[in-house]
Chain A
Amino acid sequence: MDLIESYKEELKLIRKPWTRVWVGAFVLLLILLPWFGPEHFTYTATVIFIYTVGVLGQNLLIGYTGQISFGQAGFLAIGAFTFGHLSRFGVPWPLALLGAGILAGLFGILVGFPSLRLKGPYLAIATLGFGIAVYQVFVNSELLSGGRMGLSIQKIEPVFGLSRITFNYYFNFLIALFFTLATYNIISSYMGRAFIAVRDNDIAAEVIGVNLARYKLLSFAISSFYTGVQGGLYGLFMGYLEPNMFTFMESITLFVAVIIGGLASVEGSIMGAAFVILVPQVFSEYREMVPVVYGVTILIVLIFEPLGLYGRWFKMRLYFRNWPFR
């Protein structure tokens, strides 16, 4: 439906004026939220921003490159504890955050090596093993996990007279925005097209000149970098870390976010992150029924919208764009 006449047009982030309107309105709404919305909205939105960073990364790996991974909790833990230790050594937070991402990225390359030979369920199991191994290492090493009382992290003091919640909101909003734009950039570059080629048919990709080893490892490295940064942001936000925050359930949460949001979609990643945070939160008063509600919602979404939340959104947009013609 989109007629694109030049490469420059193809690279444009937003092509339709109406898209510009709703994206602008949405961003403006997010900017104004702390001033209008109740404070717990702001808090929940902050958690969504933090998760968005990780889900975007995992979508690059799972959605765009087609490498199924269950090691997210491991990268998250590595990122979080790297950030924790660095900030305790007095490293300023931007560097500590970068360090968290880089170390997680290096481990991503390490885990990526099996991906050169393994596919599908076999790769999933290898990465699953990694996630669990990292958890075990942190649980068993007091030096790494910060000892018996976990690791306390100094929070950033708010500036400009903002309250802590508002400050955290804008801080994480800007970082999530940065990573969202970076992801758009990656997928519309040669690298992104290579990822997609690897996913669609790796042999064909190699035939047309995509270096398989390089791009598979790169995908692991970048996605782990994102997840590591998410871990760092999480540590900074919570002010406290302990290994039990990074069990296998965390991997599942991120995986669900990718699938529910929509594979290979940036908007879907944001929606997926919002889904996994909002559903348990909104239904928290249903008490012991929360996991049931959560599980059933996932089922409903997948049955009625296999393409995820983004799929539904896309169809809605298409409907209105062609309205009244169908």
Chain B
Amino acid sequence: MGKKSLWIGILLVLFVAVPCFNGASAGVPGVTDTEVVIGWSTPLSGPAALWGVTALGGKAYADYINSQGGVNGRKIKVLLKDDGYNPTRALSNLQEMRGKVFAVTGLLGTAVVHTCRDFFSENKIPLITAYANTRMWVNYPKDKLRYIFIAYPDYEDEAHFLTSYAIKELGTKKIAPFYQNDDYGKMGVAGIEKAVKESGGKAKIVARVPYEVTERALGTHALKLKESGADTVLLYTTMTHGALILKEMGKIGFRPKALATFTLGDPIMYKIAGEVWEGVYPAGAGNSGIPGADPAADRLADILKKYNPKIAGKEYLGVFGAVSMIYTVEALKRAGRNLSVEGMIKAMESIKNYKPEGVGAPATFGPNRRHGVNASRVLHAEGGKHIPKTEFKIFKPRF
């Protein structure tokens, strides 16, 4: 029985395994004569599902380009997968895309990007923009960074800029940051501390009030902020928590000046927070524009809505994501008809002072520069819109 069963086993294995065999395909992965495939893994479900609209924006822009004949005779196919904001699933999606995609764009979430970052150099696939804390790239080895292109502001630089603006222009003297108790919030606080230190005693931090991302009852947090006697509150929160804390502060009659990080730069905040949002100064990220205030962003939002009506009402995130696809398209154009990964990298490196469809601050990449744009500006919530108060402040690229 022993030998017989062994043979039966081997046969069984061969039957099952043979169909799995897939021969290696020649040529550049993800590129055919008529098509170029771009991978996009993003949270379309789970806690960060709203941010998945960025991918819908990117896909809508690709559809728009395809309707005009594509790039150099090739249509863009977006291979869109849900990762639920989960690093394991994101990496799994990328593994599955390997050999099928030419480039990846728009990865979202610090944990996701950090987990997946080695994938790109290991497999020689360019990553064109990712929405995550930029600090992970600062000490990243140069040979691996070659495949990475980022256009995203640094949280600390932005907080520094916002705080300096408050001190100089709004007469802020007592600051209280209200922040998410994680990397993101703490980097904001670090920037605020730096600006306060540089103010030479003009302003001070009177309280630091953290919250947990799972918390929803923020009454005591609002009281703490009020008791600190702060004249300005700086929000490093999610959209929901920014809205909740302002509502709670309103209930107890505490209406200080409020500034907020760029994740709250979406005018959709009026819908979430209601009238308490009026008068807040959110930051505007340098990599994107504000529909309703920037004509270029409006034009782009109209295009996106035409190709995906679901983006209506979420124009800000749609534009935010479309920008990633615009960089990709621009690089594909510059790389020419003979696509190769090296050619794509060279093409990205040749992008100088470029505004995607006229949106945001100008981006510049180069052989020694992968942080294309690190910029921010101050907006003001007025009558349902976010109106820019300053020009883009361009910070030094971090890597």
Contacts and interface: CB of A to CB of B under 8 A. Distances in A.
Interface in B265-299: none
B87 A43 contact: no
Interface stretch (B8-16, B26-34, B217-225, B373-381): B8-16
A284 B1 contact: no
B35 interface: no
Interface stretch (B67-75, B77-85, B199-207, B390-398): B77-85
B17 A24 contact: no
* Chain B interface bracket (under 10, 10 to 19, 20 to 34, 35 or more): 35 or more
Contact of A38 (B22, B83, B84): B22
Contact of B115 (A18, A140, A238): A238
Nearest to A284: B81
A9 B206 CA distance: 74
Nearest to A155: B118
Interface string A230-266: 0000000011101111000000000000000000000
B115 A280 contact: no
B95 interface: yes
A64 to B, nearest CB: 27
A140 B182 CA distance: 8
Chain B interface helix/strand/loop/mixed:
helix
Contacts of A33: 17
Contact of A164 (B99, B122, B212): B122
Contacts of A139: 181-182, 212
B63 to A, nearest CB: 16
B95 A43 contact: yes
Contacts of B92: 40, 43-44, 47, 281, 284
A17 B5 contact: yes
Contacts of B186: 148
B98 A240 contact: no
Q: Which of A37, A238, A244 has the most CB of B within 10 A?
A: A244
B146 to A, nearest CB: 19
B44 interface: yes
Interface string B94-125: 01101100000000001100110010001000
Interface in B43-67: 44-46, 49, 52
* Chain A interface bracket (under 10, 10 to 19, 20 to 34, 35 or more): 35 or more
B228 to A, nearest CB: 20
Given A28-B9, A136-B212, A287-B45, A280 B135 contact: no
A321 interface: no
Q: Which of A39, A149, A165, A291 has the most CB of B within 10 A?
A: A149
A25 interface: yes
Contacts of A18: 5
B10 A28 contact: yes
Contacts of A47: 88, 92
A156 to B, nearest CB: 13
Interface string A163-190: 0110000000000000000000000000
Contacts of A280: 84, 89
A286 interface: yes
Contacts of A288: 44-45, 49, 52, 82
Contacts of B44: 287-288, 290
Nearest to A24: B9
A316 interface: no
A95 interface: no
List the 6 shortest-distance A-B pairs measured between CB atoms, nearest first: A25-B9, A40-B96, A40-B95, A287-B44, A43-B95, A21-B5
19 contacts: A20-B5, A21-B8, A24-B6, A24-B9, A25-B8, A28-B10, A32-B17, A39-B98, A47-B92, A149-B183, A164-B122, A165-B95, A238-B87, A244-B182, A245-B111, A284-B93, A285-B80, A287-B45, A290-B45
